[in-house]
């Protein structure tokens, strides 16, 4: 079974650079997904020059036009997270869960999909909480050999360390993702990003 290699970003622009770098490194469209908070509807499709067969089209154009394999870019609501921009293989998992009548099922789709593909439950909750607090989750799916290639891309593009982020969350009383918690507003998400920036300095 393929493993999932997640990268969580505090800023959407950094996540889109990671997607571009993953594509440039040869990760297929169908093995990349992106889920990010978009409370104000301000995010654009992913801009990048890396495309299949050297067509010269931009990833954003491919996503927006539905002509590529990172299809389905759109807005969806996740309990406890709020409106998100979502594209890629993970979207169908979330959408399928959201179609059920179970409260919080869509969020369970994020955590369940990650843990099913080898991500620890603790880290999966950190990633879900990160999206709730305004972050963007990028995932690459593949065999174990993909890990050594993906990890440097995530580090270079500014992905967070899930262990360090879990400590920051827990210092404020957080224990695990709660789908019943209210989503962060734009102002709260920006305050969180500034707090993480100060903690890293």
pLDDT of 78-113, one tens digit each? 666 767 777 777 766 665 544 443 434 444 567 887
Mean pLDDT across the stretch 125-131?
93
The arithmetic mean of pLDDT across residues 183-193, rounded, is: 85
Going by C-alpha positions, the residue among 111, 132, 133 that lies closest to residue 6 is 111
Nearest Cα residue to 43 out of 186, 193, 199, 187: 186
Question: 171 or 194, which is more confident?
Answer: 171
pLDDT score recorded for residue 123: 96
- Domain residue limits, the chain: 3-200
Among 19-23, 34-38, 41-45, which is the least confidently predicted range?
Answer: 41-45
Whether pLDDT at 58 is above 50: no
Rounded to whole angstroms, the Cα distance separating 188 from 82 reads 13
* pLDDT at residue 30 in the model: 84
Query: What is the percent of the chain where pLDDT is above 70?
Result: 68
Whether the predicted pLDDT of 167 surpasses 70:
yes
pTM: 0.79
């Amino acid at each position: 079974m393929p493993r999932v290699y997640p990268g969580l970003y505090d800023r959407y622009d950094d996540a889109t650079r990671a997607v571009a770098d993953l594509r440039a490194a040869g990760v297929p469209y169908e093995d990349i997904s992106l889920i990010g908070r978009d409370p104000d509807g301000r995010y654009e499709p992913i801009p990048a020059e890396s495309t299949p067969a050297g067509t010269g089209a931009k990833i954003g154009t491919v996503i927006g036009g539905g002509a590529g394999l990172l299809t389905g870019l759109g807005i969806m609501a996740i309990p406890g997270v709020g409106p998100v921009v979502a594209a890629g293989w993970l979207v169908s998992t979330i959408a399928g869960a959201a179609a059920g009548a179970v409260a919080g099922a869509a969020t369970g789709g994020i955590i369940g999909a990650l843990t099913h593909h080898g991500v620890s439950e603790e880290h999966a909750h950190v990633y879900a909480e990160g999206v709730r607090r305004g972050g963007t989750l990028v995932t690459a799916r593949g065999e174990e050999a993909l890990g050594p290639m993906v990890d440097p891309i995530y580090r270079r593009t500014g992905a967070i360390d899930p262990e360090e982020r879990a400590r920051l969350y827990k210092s404020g009383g957080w224990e695990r993702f709660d789908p019943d918690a209210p989503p962060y507003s734009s102002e709260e998400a920006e305050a969180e990003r500034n707090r993480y920036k100060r903690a890293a300095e």
